[in-house]
Structure 1
Amino acid sequence: MSAPDGTARAITLVILAGGRGTRFGGAKQLEPVGPAGEALLDYTIRDASTTGFSRTVIVARSDIDDAIRSHVSRMHPDADITVVCQDRHGPHRDKPWGTAHALLAAAETVPGPFATANADDYYGAGSLALLAPLLSITDAGSSDWFLVAFPITGTLSASGPVSRGVCQLDDDGQLVRVTEERVQLSPRGTIQTVDGTEVRPDTLVSMNLWGLAPPVFDCLASGFDPFAAAHLHDGEEYRLPDEIARLLSAGRAGVRVVRSDAPWAGITHRADLPGLRRFLAELDRTRPG
């Protein structure tokens, strides 16, 4: 529902930028990929500002905090951007606790409906424009949420296997669960899991472009302490898709899946960079204005 005066609600974009980029071999969050030295998150911030999002929260790490702040203040001097550090919340562990914990770190900075996005993914204004109008009329206390999902065929890497969250939907287009799979292109051009199971090219996958509301924070907080106690030393991650799936199975939330056919791009392997830079250069060349 909309605000009491009938106006749309202010909505926030939360960018998850706390990962270590182990497979990539460095901080993907700030890797220059655009013609003017833009990182992928710069494109997402820019697209969000043109599609109805009023502010951005970036969840980073302490060791790149200063670099992130310097970068975004230079690239987006007039934008409303807050940076928080994931590793300053909860017990210390060398490996970040995962995307659900990263989102928890942003809880105090997000008063209303919001979207999540990965720092190392390009979603495009078209995908964010699917979420913004839905979130702008979502009540801050709602447990009816959204997921923008992409056909898997447009999310693969020619450089090797990638992890993708395969969506299972019910007959009404509501999310049942997201199952993480390692997938790749086979030599004959089909899509398959690393154990050889073929995957349909129109299978929808989650790239963490969720539309959520503040009740998710209490749900995540209640589950994190026991998770942290059980996994302090084993590296298991507190993952947002897993926690949302638990809420769905318990009937505590609902998630409507919205398909996006907008071009997606991202970084998993360092070998992805040349193709990504060509894609973004062409995007900038053809962008209006």
Structure 2
Amino acid sequence: MRNNTKPTLIILAAGMASRYGGNKQTESFGPNGETIMEYSIYDAIKVGFGKVIFIIREEFSDAFAAQIEPKLLGKIEIDYAFQSLERFSNNIEFSKERSKPFGTAHALLCCKGKVEGPFAVINADDFYGFDAFKKAYTFLTTDIRDELFACLGYQLKNTVSEFGAVTRGEIQTDVVGEIVSINERREIVFKDGQIISLEKDQRQILAAETQVSMNFFCFTSTFIDWMEDKYYRFLSENKHELKAEFLIPEVADQLIKSGTASIKVIDTDAKWFGVTFKEDANLVKEELLKLSNEKIYPLDLWNIVSPITLV
């Protein structure tokens, strides 16, 4: 049955970007100063999303809104959710030495009460491509239900950086394309033409075509409700840890194993790129300029003389 509610796009933009050394979520990468997430919003509007929720740190909300809102005015509904270390702490006292929040699933939990119905969640600093948004929209408006969610799947070889280690969710599927497990690998490097996992000091070569999650998931609001008590359990077990994170792929893996819902993989041939390290920035700028020169995107993304044409 087709869902007539326009899906919501949730953008994870509260990360502290310690490896990058700056606020990459709002840095200019496009030919006319566009951020990476503006291309995701452009694609989302083009296929039919009706609302965008930015998960940010509250102390930067005024500057963020001043940069983003004038470009989106009249194009899509805008809302915000604020992530902080204290949100959903449930009166649990954690280490005073910890300064950063507890990861992407904690960020999504901070949207509780702000989203109704189907939504997609993405990273602010990743370029996902139009094909991914088109397929996500189709799933969100035709197939999604509280017992069936989706993850956009990318090939590992297209998601690594030559400048340092990255974290990727390795996906294993069954014969019908539903996810059996998501293994969050935190130390993946590209070296001498090989992709190598160095997690826990163990060296393992990974296949280039390995399917991975890039934090592009399609859920209903029931997923946020479901993971709340899981977060409290995580927090009680990791309250003294300085680097522990509550991550969407790992929580999705718990969901699958609990039998509460299934998550199917949606394959996309869209080209992914993003910024993890400062050295990635020039490549991203070159890729976005190339896409503009090929007229896949306007040179000026929000220019009124280049209106978005719905497909």
Common topology (TM > 0.5)? yes
Residue of structure 2 in register with 1:110 after alignment: 115
Residue of structure 1 in register with 2:264 after alignment: 256
The within-5 A match list for 1:25-174 is 25-78=21-74, 79-87=76-84, 89-91=87-89, 94-138=99-143, 142-174=146-178
The partner residue of 2:287 within 275, 279, 282 is 279
Deviation, 1:228, is 1.9
Residue of structure 1 in register with 2:17 after alignment: 21
Q: Does 1:207 align with 2:214?
A: yes
Q: Is the 8 A contact 1:100 1:239 kept in 2?
A: yes
Q: Which amino acid aligns with 2:276?
A: T
Q: Which amino acid aligns with 2:190?
A: L
Q: Which amino acid aligns with 2:80?
A: V
Which SS does the other structure have where 2:113 is aligned?
Answer: helix
Residue of structure 1 in register with 2:299 after alignment: none
Deviation, 1:107, is 2.1
Q: Deviations over 1:177-205 (max 9, x none)?
A: 21122222221x12222343111111111
Structure 2 distance, partners of 1:25, 1:152, is: 25
Deviation, 1:15, is 0.5
Structure 1 distance, partners of 2:146, 2:120, is: 14
Q: Does 1:198 align with 2:205?
A: yes
Which SS does the other structure have where 2:67 is aligned?
Answer: helix
Residue of structure 1 in register with 2:181 after alignment: 177
Q: What is the Cα-based RMSD across aligned positions, in Å?
A: 1.6
Q: What TM-score comes out, normalization by structure 1 length?
A: 0.93
Question: How many pairs are equivalent?
Answer: 283
Name stretches of at least 5 consecutive residues in structure 2 with no aligned partner.
297-305, 307-311
Could you list the structure 1 runs, at least 4 aligned residues long, displaced by more than 6 angstroms after superposition.
none
Q: Which amino acid aligns with 1:163?
A: T
Residue of structure 1 in register with 2:301 after alignment: none
Q: Which amino acid aligns with 1:73?
A: E
Deviation, 1:38, is 1.0
Q: Is the 8 A contact 1:2 1:9 kept in 2?
A: no
Q: Deviations over 1:124-152 (max 9, x none)?
A: 1111111101101246x622000001011
Deviation, 1:279, is 0.4
Q: Deviations over 1:195-253 (max 9, x none)?
A: 43111111111001001111101111121122223323313111111111111111001
* Percent of paired sites with the same residue: 30
Q: Is the 8 A contact 1:155 1:265 kept in 2?
A: yes
Q: Is the 8 A contact 2:189 2:196 kept in 1?
A: yes
The partner residue of 1:216 within 219, 223, 241 is 223
Structure 2 distance, partners of 1:162, 1:248, is: 24
Name stretches of at least 5 consecutive residues in structure 1 with no aligned partner.
none
Q: Is the 8 A contact 1:149 1:205 kept in 2?
A: yes
Structure 1 distance, partners of 2:196, 2:87, is: 38
Structure 1 distance, partners of 2:256, 2:167, is: 22
Which is worse superposed, 176-185 or 239-248?
176-185
Q: What TM-score comes out, normalization by structure 2 length?
A: 0.87
Q: Is the 8 A contact 2:162 2:191 kept in 1?
A: no
